[in-house]
């Protein structure tokens, strides 16, 4: 089916947003990709060039689980983290099916799958796609900060070629909030997002993983203390 038969971009956006929210997404946005520049290390050049839209959806983490974290991640947080990622992958699959039923092509990207262990990178940066999709901004803790949930949100992305209206990035930052600096056990967070020290963060994640027997690189301390600045919404 040719792209001319894929529908109106604004109408496609509205219908897909409504579908995603019914399927469990708390936030939804669409970003324009930059096929010639984007670093998608595990995708073929043909795939990168053919998929010009990134559909980004998010599910918040449970506040009760986050509040139970004190000085280190808990086993409850580990289980919750994995379950939210599983739910996001299922959500991405349903979004991809919806897109392909409308005649588009879609590639759901795993919510949490490492393809570059040294650089701790996945197939793409969900937080960067979320920033472009207007869901939030990159905070001092190097995570996507959303108005409704702070950084207590996990994301997933579906790349596609369906004509979709694209959202605009938010013109916001963390302002005078510095809670995450004091919370970081690695001292990896600076006054500006550009000062974030990935190596310090990664070394601390390895310490937690090995000393607590978690089997996964997680922390959650800066996520716990990152405040939401607006009531949750579904748009």
Kindly report, residue by residue over 161-189, the tens digit of the pLDDT: 999 999 999 999 999 999 999 899 999 99
pLDDT score, position 214: 82
Question: What distance in Å separates the CA atoms of residue 48 and residue 37, rounded to the nearest whole number?
Answer: 10
Residues 108 and 34 sit within 8 Å (Cβ to Cβ): no
Answer yes or no: is pLDDT of 2 > 50: no
pLDDT score, position 4: 43
Between these two residues, 92 and 228, which has the higher pLDDT value? 92
Record the pTM.
0.89
At 33-80, the pLDDT tens digits run 886 666 666 677 777 778 899 999 999 999 999 999 999 999 999 999
Question: What distance in Å separates the CA atoms of residue 220 and residue 77, rounded to the nearest whole number?
Answer: 8
Instruction: Locate 193 and state its tokens.
Output: 């997002």
Going from N- to C-terminal start, the domains of the chain cover: 3-173
Between these two residues, 220 and 34, which has the higher pLDDT value? 220
Residues 186 and 203 sit within 8 Å (Cβ to Cβ): yes
Domain boundaries 3-173, corresponding CATH code: 3.40.109
At 115-157, the pLDDT tens digits run 565 655 656 889 999 999 999 999 999 999 999 999 999 999 9
Question: What distance in Å separates the CA atoms of residue 170 and residue 174, rounded to the nearest whole number?
Answer: 12
Cα–Cα distance list, 73 to 54, 70, 80, 213, 216 (Å): 31, 7, 11, 11, 11
């Amino acid at each position: 089916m040719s792209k001319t038969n894929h529908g109106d971009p604004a109408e496609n956006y509205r219908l897909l947003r409504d579908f995603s929210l019914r399927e469990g997404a708390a936030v939804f946005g669409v970003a324009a990709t930059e096929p010639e520049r984007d670093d998608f290390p595990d995708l073929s050049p043909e795939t990168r060039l053919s998929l010009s839209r990134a559909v980004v959806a998010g599910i918040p983490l449970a506040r009760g689980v986050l509040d139970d974290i004190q000085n280190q991640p808990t086993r409850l947080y580990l289980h919750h983290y994995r379950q939210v990622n599983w739910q996001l992958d299922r959500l991405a699959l349903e979004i991809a099916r919806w897109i392909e039923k409308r005649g588009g092509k879609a590639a759901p990207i795993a919510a949490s799958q490492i393809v570059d262990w040294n650089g701790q990178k996945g197939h793409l940066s969900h937080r960067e796609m979320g920033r472009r999709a207007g869901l939030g901004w990159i905070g001092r803790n190097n995570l996507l900060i959303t108005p409704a949930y702070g950084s207590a949100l996990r994301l997933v992305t579906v790349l596609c070629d369906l004509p979709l209206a694209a959202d605009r990035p938010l013109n916001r930052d963390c302002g005078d909030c510095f809670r995450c600096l004091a919370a970081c056990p690695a001292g990896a967070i600076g006054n500006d997002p550009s000062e974030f020290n990935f190596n310090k963060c990664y070394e601390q994640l390895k310490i937690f993983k090995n000393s607590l027997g978690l089997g996964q690189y997680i922390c959650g301390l800066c996520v716990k203390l990152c405040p939401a600045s607006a009531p949750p919404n579904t748009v």
